[in-house]
Amino acid sequence: MTDSDTPAVGRRHFVQGVGAVLSLAPLIGRSNSAAGLQAGIVNVGAHENSKRNNTFLQACRGEKVDYTPVWMMRQAGRYLPEFRAVLEKSDFLTACRTPEIAAALTIQPVDVLGVDAAIFFSDITTTVVPMGMQLRYSDKTGPAFENPIRSKADVDRLIVPEDPADGLGFVYEAQKICARELANRVPLIGFAAAPFTISAYMVDGSSGGAFSLFRQFVFDEPAGYATLMNKVAEHTIRYLKAQAAAGADALMLFDSNAGLVGPQDYESLNLPWVKKIIAALKPTGVPIIYFGLGAHGSLGMIKDCGADVISIDYGMRLDNAVAQLGPNVSVQGNIEPYVLFQSPKEIRRRVAETLEAGKAARGHVFNLGHGVPRNSPVDHVKAMVDSVHELSQARMT
Ligand code: 1CP
């Protein structure tokens, strides 16, 4: 059987491209009408709308699902022509800071791909600007801070705003729009970096030096480091709580630099703050996802960090991760992102393997092992999403 003649099983379960109430044209032009946006249906904070496709949230909680839900890290990204069209008219930071644009970029991949969750379009680096960090963005080299943290005195100057809306109100405004527009479609994932990951950017300024200054700082300046982590963690807690209040249905902590230290240092230099944040977020009631890129040796500790879902990167076997994590958490992941450049038939074969590897987990949210590569063919990305839906539903019936 070829890909094209595979029956589209269970299509009715998948909310695909229907009800795309938020059109990009008005949002990137001048004529965006508040009335049009207010025509949405959701109550902000109504996290479990029964008309919505809640498969993603069910899998996060380990509840029974009809098929395996799928979304992709960096699904709102350059591989989409619709995304590039918006970023031709607006620079990256302006897009992040303009609620209507951020909302439109968040919803684009839901329309195009038919994924089961939307990840909020923003960046991990914008969050710490109200703390006093000066952020610039280059299309070539990505985000960079102009006033990096190099001493305890620099750390002491950092502010922790009382009010999470101070300097970040555009995030919650955008999320309220997303929650309204996605009300009868799919859940919205809010996010922030874990303190270790954003602190590495704050100390080095950018990723250009492979975070070598940060790696020295954590050992040379233990008091400065602890204060930095405490301040960032407090700010992150307020930021993520405000996202849940604005309409985020799940929250993800991206710890993309977690692999910079091995297990013994992960335990003392990173884990305590991850646990603190997750514990503080529990009262929101929304599922929490933790993604520690490259931290395979620390999985035995990560298992008990308090997250509902542990996201696994492409660097280890998913069935091995499931065996280590045990029955109390769901998993997310972990197909090799560059499989997206293979044929739809090969993509389908690899999807089947990943579904098989995740089947023993309490719950499985299908995802890539890291972000969608920049030049991925959109039809292949879509083929991956369709394969996950079709193959997983066939397995469950
Ligand atoms: O679909 C989505 O995931 C959109 C939302 C999103 C998220 C969750 C973006 C938009 N960025 C992030 C998180 C993020 N940003 C992480 C953690 C996840 C990961 O490991 O990828 C990191 C490390 C960043 C930092 C960042 N932002 C970089 C990396 C640069 C480096 O230091 O190596 C870059 C290039 C960005 C820009 C960025 N952020 C988001 C997008 C779509 C882009 C690319 C913009 C463009 O193509 O012009």
Confidence label for 49 from pLDDT (cuts 50, 70 and 90): confident
Q: Give the pLDDT of residue 396.
A: 86
Rounded distance, CA 185 to CA 15, Å? 6
pLDDT surpasses 50 at 344:
yes
Q: Whose CA is nearest to atom 33 of ligand 1?
A: 207
pLDDT surpasses 90 at 85:
yes
Mean pLDDT of 259-280: 98
Centre of ligand 1 from the C-alpha of residue 174, in Å? 18
Q: Whose CA is nearest to atom 31 of ligand 1?
A: 207
pLDDT surpasses 80 at 13:
no
Window from 7-11, 70-74, 77-81, 387-391 with minimum mean pLDDT: 7-11
Confidence label for 33 from pLDDT (cuts 50, 70 and 90): very low
Instruction: Give the pLDDT confidence of 106-115 residue by residue, as tens digits.
Output: 999 999 999 9
Q: Give the pLDDT of residue 50.
A: 78
Rounded to a whole number of angstroms, the distance between the first and last alpha carbons of the chain is: 20
pLDDT surpasses 90 at 22:
no
Ligand 1 contacts CB of residue 73 (under 6 A): yes
Q: Whose CA is nearest to atom 41 of ligand 1?
A: 77
Q: Give the pLDDT of residue 290.
A: 99
Confidence label for 47 from pLDDT (cuts 50, 70 and 90): low
Mean pLDDT in the chain?
90
pLDDT surpasses 70 at 19:
no
189 phi and psi, to 5 degrees?
-100, 120
Centre of ligand 1 from the C-alpha of residue 124, in Å? 7
Ligand 1 contacts CB of residue 92 (under 6 A): yes
Q: Give the pLDDT of residue 6.
A: 29
Window from 24-33, 91-100, 378-387 with minimum mean pLDDT: 24-33
Q: Whose CA is nearest to atom 35 of ligand 1?
A: 142
Q: What is the enclosing helix (H) or strand (E) of 181?
A: helix 169-181
Q: Identify the CATH number of the domain defined by range 59-396.
A: 3.20.20.210
Of all residues in the chain, what percent carry a pLDDT higher than 70? Answer: 88
Rounded distance, CA 211 to CA 202, Å? 10
Instruction: Give domain limits for the chain.
Output: 59-396
Centre of ligand 1 from the C-alpha of residue 231, in Å? 23
pLDDT surpasses 90 at 30:
no
Residue 331, beta-bridge partner list: 310, 364
pLDDT surpasses 90 at 4:
no
- Mutate-to-test residue for ligand 1 from 123, 135, 136, 171, highest number of ligand atoms within 8 A of CB: 123
- Altogether, the residues listed in the chain come to a count of 397
Which structure tokens are listed for 118?
A: 């939307």
Q: Identify residue 67 by its one-letter amino acid code.
A: Y
Instruction: Give the pLDDT confidence of 201-258 residue by residue, as tens digits.
Output: 999 999 999 999 999 999 999 999 999 999 999 999 999 999 999 999 999 999 999 9
Has this prediction a pTM greater than 0.85? yes
Lookup result for tokens 């969050």: 127
Q: Give the pLDDT of residue 238.
A: 98
81-106 core/surface letters (b: 16 or more CB in 10 A; e: else): eebeebbeeeeebebbbbbbbbbbbb
Q: Whose CA is nearest to atom 46 of ligand 1?
A: 78
Centre of ligand 1 from the C-alpha of residue 74, in Å? 7
